[in-house]
C-alpha cells in the first residue's frame, strides 16, 4: 500500500533525537531550529519526560473518560499555577485543530449564534470549523465552506465591530501572534479593544495558543503580554513535546453539562503524564526565561545580517524576512549546514521555532551558517 501523498518530503530520515539535535539514519547530526513545527518545547527525549511516559505506560496507558483519572486533576492544578490563568476549567483532547473545534462549538452552544470572526492570514487547523476559520481557501472543502466566517484585517477594530453588530457571531478566534501566517502581531490597544467588543456583543473571545502557548514566546501564553482575559484558550503543540495532546481552558462563566463535549482518547493517562512532565521541566529549568534571554541574543545578532529586510516575532517564535523567497536558502541550511528551519505562508520568511532549551552557542552556530549560506 502506498502512502496518501500529501506531504512534500525532505530526503532525511531521523532515527533519534536528543535535546536540540536530531540524528538521521546515517548518524548525521542536525541542529533543530524548527522543533517539528513548534512542537518540541522541553527538548527531544528529555530524561524526565521519557521516564514519566515509560513509567506510566508500564502501569496504565489508557482508560476511557468514564472513570476517575486523578492525573487530569493534577494537570489542571499544575497548569493553573504555571500559566497563572486562575478559575478556568480544563477540557483535554488530542490536537490543535480539535482544541479549536471544541472551542468554537462551545462558543456556539454558549451564545446560540452560528458565525465565526477570524483574521486574515490566520491558521487554526484542518477540521470542520477550524479550517473554515483558517484564511486559506485551498484547504477548505465544500463541506466545510457551509459554515459562515468573516475575515477581517488584524488590527482593524472598526471592521470587527461592523461584523459583531450583526449579532450572529458566536466567537472571535485569534492567534495573538500569527504562526503559519508569518508572525504578525497587533498592538495591546487592539487586543484590549477586541476583548471589550466581544463582551459588548456577547461573542466569545478564543485565544488560539496552539503554537504560541506553553512558554514559546517567553510568556506562558502570548496573549498575556496584552493583559486580556480570553473566554477560551486553545493549546496543543508544545503541551506534549511530541506526544499528541491538546486542550482548552474555559472561563468559569461557561457552564459544563454532561455530554456537551467528549472524546475517546483526550486526557488519557499517557497524555497527562507527558504534559505534566513538560510543565515540571518548563518550571524547573526556567525555560520561559531562557526563551526570553536567547531571543534577545538572536535579535541582536539578526540585526547585523546585511541582506535581511525584517526580523519578526518574539520569544522563540521568530522569523527572518528577506526580499527574496527563502526556499533555496532553507534547503541549503538543511543539506549543507544540517540545520532545520521552517517556512511560512509568506514565501520570504524563514521561521525559527527551536526547543526552548536552545542556548546562545546554538544561535552562534546558526548565524555562522546563515552568513555562509547567504554569501
Ligand atoms: C495556531 C495554530 N492553531 C491550530 C493548529 C492546528 O494544530 P494541529 O495540527 O495539531 O491540528 C496549528 C498548527 O500548525 C496552529 O499553528
pLDDT digits (tens, 9 = 90+) for 152-194: 999 999 999 999 999 999 999 999 999 999 999 999 999 999 9
CA of 106 to the centre of ligand 1 (A): 18
Q: Which of 247, 268, 284 is the last residue of a domain?
A: 284
Q: Are residues 170 and 159 in the same domain?
A: yes
Question: Which numbered atom of ligand 1 lies nearest the CA of 175?
Answer: 1
Q: 96 CB less than 6 Å from ligand 1?
A: yes
Can you give the CATH number for the domain in which 313 is found? 3.90.1150.10
Q: By residue range, what is the domain housing residue 27?
A: 14-43+287-374
Can you give the CATH number for the domain in which 225 is found? 3.40.640.10
- CA-closest candidate to residue 175, choices 219, 132, 134: 134
Residues contacting residue 120 through CB under 8 Å, at least 6 positions apart:
135, 151, 152, 153, 154, 181
How far, in Å, CA of 205 to CA of 8, rounded? 35
Domain-embedded: residue 291: yes
Q: Are residues 119 and 243 in the same domain?
A: yes
Residue to mutate (ligand 1; options 124, 175, 183; most atoms within 8 A of CB): 124
Q: Are 245 and 239 in contact (CB under 8 A)?
A: yes
Domain-embedded: residue 212: yes
Q: 97 CB less than 6 Å from ligand 1?
A: yes
Q: Are residues 88 and 155 in the same domain?
A: yes
Question: Which numbered atom of ligand 1 lies nearest the CA of 180?
Answer: 16
Q: How high is the pLDDT of residue 92?
A: 98
List the Cα angle 77/40/277 in 5-degree steps.
30
How far, in Å, CA of 75 to CA of 65, rounded? 15
Residues contacting residue 132 through CB under 8 Å, at least 6 positions apart:
116, 140, 144, 145, 147, 149
Domain-embedded: residue 216: yes
* CA-proximal residue: ligand 1, atom 4 (nearest): 124
Q: 350 CB less than 6 Å from ligand 1?
A: no
How far, in Å, CA of 363 to CA of 343, rounded? 18
CA of 374 to the centre of ligand 1 (A): 31
pLDDT tens-digit map of 299-345: 999 999 988 999 999 999 999 999 999 999 999 999 999 999 999 99
Domain-embedded: residue 3: no
* CA-proximal residue: ligand 1, atom 8 (nearest): 96
CA dihedral defined by 64, 65, 69, 72, rounded to 10 degrees?
A: 120
How many structural domains compose the chain? 2
Q: Are residues 177 and 105 in the same domain?
A: yes
Domain-embedded: residue 18: yes
Q: Are 202 and 172 in contact (CB under 8 A)?
A: no
Q: Are residues 28 and 68 in the same domain?
A: no
Q: Beta strand pairing status for 169-174 and 204-208?
A: parallel
Domain-embedded: residue 262: yes
Euclidean distance between the first and final Cα of the chain, in Å? 44
Q: Are residues 217 and 81 in the same domain?
A: yes
Q: Which of 284, 306, 334 is the last residue of a domain?
A: 284
Q: 101 CB less than 6 Å from ligand 1?
A: no
Q: How high is the pLDDT of residue 306?
A: 84
Q: 209 CB less than 6 Å from ligand 1?
A: no
Question: Which numbered atom of ligand 1 lies nearest the CA of 122?
Answer: 1
List the Cα angle 185/314/30 in 5-degree steps.
125
Q: Are 288 and 57 in contact (CB under 8 A)?
A: no
Element containing residue 42 per DSSP (H, E):
none
Q: Beta strand pairing status for 29-32 and 89-93?
A: unpaired
Question: Which numbered atom of ligand 1 lies nearest the CA of 126?
Answer: 11
Q: 124 CB less than 6 Å from ligand 1?
A: yes
Domain-embedded: residue 93: yes
Q: Which residues of the chain have pLDDT under 50?
A: none
Q: Are residues 74 and 205 in the same domain?
A: yes
Q: Which of 247, 264, 284 is the last residue of a domain?
A: 284
Domain-embedded: residue 2: no
Distances (CA, A) of 363 to 301, 332, 338, 351: 9, 17, 14, 14
Is the full-model pTM beyond 0.75?
yes
CA of 143 to the centre of ligand 1 (A): 20
Q: Are residues 257 and 326 in the same domain?
A: no
Q: Are residues 30 and 78 in the same domain?
A: no
Q: Are residues 114 and 198 in the same domain?
A: yes
Q: How high is the pLDDT of residue 147?
A: 95
Q: Are residues 221 and 321 in the same domain?
A: no
Q: Are residues 122 and 146 in the same domain?
A: yes
Question: Which numbered atom of ligand 1 lies nearest the CA of 130?
Answer: 4
Amino acid at each position: 500500500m502506498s502512502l496518501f501523498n500529501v506531504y512534500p518530503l525532505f530526503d532525511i530520515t531521523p532515527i533519534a533525537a536528543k535535546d536540540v539535535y536530531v540524528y538521521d539514519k546515517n548518524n548525521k547530526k542536525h541542529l533543530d531550529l524548527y522543533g517539528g513545527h513548534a512542537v518540541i518545547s522541553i527538548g527531544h527525549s528529555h530524561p524526565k519526560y521519557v521516564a514519566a511516559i515509560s513509567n506510566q505506560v508500564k502501569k496504565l496507558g489508557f482508560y476511557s473518560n468514564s472513570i476517575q483519572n486523578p492525573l487530569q486533576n493534577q494537570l489542571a492544578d499544575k497548569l493553573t499555577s504555571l500559566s497563572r490563568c486562575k478559575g478556568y476549567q480544563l477540557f483535554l483532547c488530542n490536537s490543535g485543530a480539535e482544541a479549536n473545534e471544541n472551542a468554537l462549538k462551545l462558543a456556539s452552544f454558549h451564545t446560540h449564534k452560528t458565525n465565526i470572526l477570524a483574521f486574515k492570514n490566520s491558521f487554526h487547523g484542518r477540521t470542520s470549523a477550524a479550517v473554515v476559520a483558517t484564511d486559506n481557501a485551498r484547504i477548505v472543502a465544500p463541506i466545510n465552506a457551509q459554515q459562515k466566517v468573516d475575515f477581517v484585517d488584524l488590527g482593524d477594530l472598526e471592521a470587527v465591530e461592523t461584523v459583531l453588530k450583526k449579532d450572529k457571531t458566536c466567537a472571535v478566534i485569534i492567534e495573538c501572534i500569527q504562526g503559519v501566517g508569518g508572525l504578525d502581531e497587533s498592538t495591546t490597544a487592539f487586543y484590549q479593544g477586541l476583548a471589550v467588543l466581544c463582551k459588548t456583543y456577547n461573542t466569545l473571545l478564543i485565544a488560539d495558543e496552539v503554537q504560541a502557548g506553553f512558554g514559546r514566546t517567553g510568556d506562558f501564553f502570548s496573549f498575556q503580554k496584552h493583559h486580556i482575559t480570553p473566554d477560551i484558550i486553545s493549546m496543543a503543540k508544545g503541551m506534549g513535546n511530541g506526544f499528541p495532546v491538546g486542550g482548552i481552558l474555559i472561563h468559569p462563566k461557561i457552564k459544563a453539562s454532561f455530554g456537551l463535549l467528549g472524546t475517546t482518547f483526550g486526557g488519557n493517562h499517557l497524555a497527562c503524564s507527558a504534559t505534566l512532565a513538560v510543565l515540571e521541566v518548563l518550571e524547573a529549568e526556567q525555560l520561559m526565561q531562557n526563551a526570553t534571554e536567547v531571543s534577545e541574543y538572536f535579535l541582536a545578532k539578526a540585526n547585523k545580517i546585511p541582506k535581511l529586510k525584517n526580523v519578526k516575532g518574539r520569544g522563540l517564535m521568530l522569523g527572518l524576512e528577506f526580499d527574496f523567497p527563502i526556499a533555496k536558502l532553507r534547503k541549503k541550511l538543511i543539506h549543507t549546514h544540517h540545520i532545520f528551519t521552517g517556512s511560512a505562508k509568506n514565501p520570504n520568511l524563514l521561521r525559527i521555532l527551536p526547543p526552548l532549551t536552545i542556548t546562545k552557542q546554538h544561535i552562534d552556530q546558526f548565524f555562522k551558517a546563515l552568513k555562509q549560506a547567504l554569501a
